Amino acid sequence: MVKVGVVGYGVIGQRLADGVALQEDMELVGVADVSPTLAVRALKEKGMPYDLYIAVPENKELFDKAGIPVSGTLEDLVQKVDVILDATSAGVGARNKELYKKYNKKAIFQGGEKNDVADVFFHGYANYEKGLGKQFLKLTSCNTTGLIRAVDCLDREVGIEKVAITIIRRVADPGDYHRGLTNALQVDKAPNHQAVDLMTIMPHVDATGILVHTPVTHGHIITVVATPKREIGKEEVLKYFNQHPRIRVVRLADGFLGNASLFRYARDLGNPRGDMYEIAVFEETIVNSGKDIMFAINIPQEAVVIPENMDAIRAAMEMQTDRLEAVALTNKYLGMGKWMEK
């Protein structure tokens, strides 16, 4: 049983903790955070299902005043685990790395950290083998994670030469107050980092793209124009996507009109927090343009990276050396692909 700790109990950290708790071959030792945030207060109100550790010992009085029990410090947590999932704010993970090195622990960092924080820039489906036994892995961002899932799916079947993407990006997570746009869209310069990151993971694919920030919070939409190595049509693309446990094919005709429809559907399914681990491909957007194939996907940014984090633990700890065996176990324990059985 691999022992796991989660550092940073925010938007991603909460979901990482839940994801680890679902893995039957992993044990969640505890979570760490710096202050009694709303997420930590909710943890207390739920009966403290996870042990809590203080990342900044000087803040112990704040936890005491809030009546939140703690099990020790971040350093205590690190000593008790085999691997850390670091879900702290960008830059904090790089500082925490020194602590992980001190105790010779493995750690997995999130997309906000710089690539040089880790030995391997990791994606469960696309380059699992490169993460085997490594001490430090870094995950791709939410958009890049979902994008690579779709491109890798087609690349393994028919080969992909290049992709051109447009990301319609949510501006902030639900509940965030620190930034926002009103009646405005904002365009970033090309190429966006997701295209560059895709090429880092899949160097044989030529990728470029544009990103547009939008004043919404529930999910990103990415349009992809992919050039396959041989001509493929909509039905063949649908066949490959329908076989992938982390890709859900949805139809506009059934009421899946966009990001909000998918978020509402996740809530109607009873998913905690309205989370969806899978990306969605809108069936009616799959079209040919000459040799190219075009389609649009939805990225549920709060939860989409959780499966790949579980894959990263499996690779770093060499729990499974076979890529497909590893991702299949992650999918099974997270309950992914259930819609394929209906």
Question: For position 278, which CATH number holds?
Answer: 3.30.360.10
Percent of the chain with pLDDT over 90: 88
Q: Is the pTM of this model over 0.85?
A: yes
- Bigger pLDDT: 50 or 214? 50
Task: Check residue 302 and give its pLDDT.
Answer: 87
For residues 60-68, give the mean pLDDT. 95
33 in a labelled binding site: yes
Q: Are residues 148 and 51 in the same domain?
A: no
* Co-location of 27 and 62 in the same domain: yes
Same domain, 133 and 158: no
Helix ranges (H only) for the chain are 11-22, 38-45, 60-65, 74-80, 92-102, 124-127, 142-158, 193-201, 234-242, 259-268, 306-316, 323-334
Check whether residue 149 and residue 136 sit in a common domain.
no
In the predicted structure, residue 152 carries a pLDDT above the cut 80: yes
Lowest mean pLDDT among 29-33, 215-219, 260-264, 314-318: 215-219
Asked if residue 216 has pLDDT above 90, the reply is no
Residue 288 clears pLDDT 70, i.e. is over it: yes
- Which of these is catalytic: 142, 304, 316, 326? 142
- Long-range contacts: 191-197, Cβ < 8 Å, 24+? 192/165, 192/167, 193/141, 193/144, 194/141, 194/143, 194/144, 194/147, 194/165, 194/167, 195/163, 195/165, 197/121, 197/140, 197/141, 197/144
What pLDDT score was predicted for residue 178? 60
Residues 236 and 330 in one domain: no
Which domain, by its residues, includes 69? 2-140+305-341
DSSP state of 112: T
Predicted local confidence at residue 181, as pLDDT: 62
Q: Over the stretch 104-116, which tens digit does the pLDDT of each residue have?
A: 999 999 998 999 9
Say whether pLDDT at 89 is over 60. yes
pLDDT band at 214 (very low <50, low <70, confident <90, very high): confident
Q: Read off the pLDDT band of 175 (50, 70, 90).
A: low
What confidence score (pLDDT) does residue 342 get?
Answer: 61
Do 74 and 183 fall within a single domain? no
Measured CA angle at 317 (ends 312, 321), to 5 deg: 80
Sign of CA dihedral 251, 306, 245, 293: positive
Would residue 153 show up in a list of annotated catalytic residues for this protein?
Answer: no
pLDDT tens by residue, 289-335:
999 999 999 999 889 999 999 999 999 999 999 999 999 999 999 99
Q: What is the dihedral of CA 292, 263, 13, 172, to 10 degrees?
A: 80
Beta-bridge mates of residue 299:
220
Q: 232 and 210: one domain?
A: yes
> In terms of domains, do 146 and 275 share one?
yes
Residue 88 identity (one-letter amino acid)? T
Residues 156 and 285 in one domain: yes
- CATH number of the CATH domain containing 67: 3.40.50.720
Residue type, 306: I
Please give the pLDDT value at position 177: 55
Q: Are 214 and 321 contained in the same domain? A: no
Residues 171 and 220 in one domain: yes
Stretch 114-143: mean pLDDT, rounded? 96
Average pLDDT, the chain: 94
Number of domains forming the structure of the chain = 2
Cis peptide before 174 (omega within 30 of 0): no
> Do 167 and 212 lie in a common domain?
yes
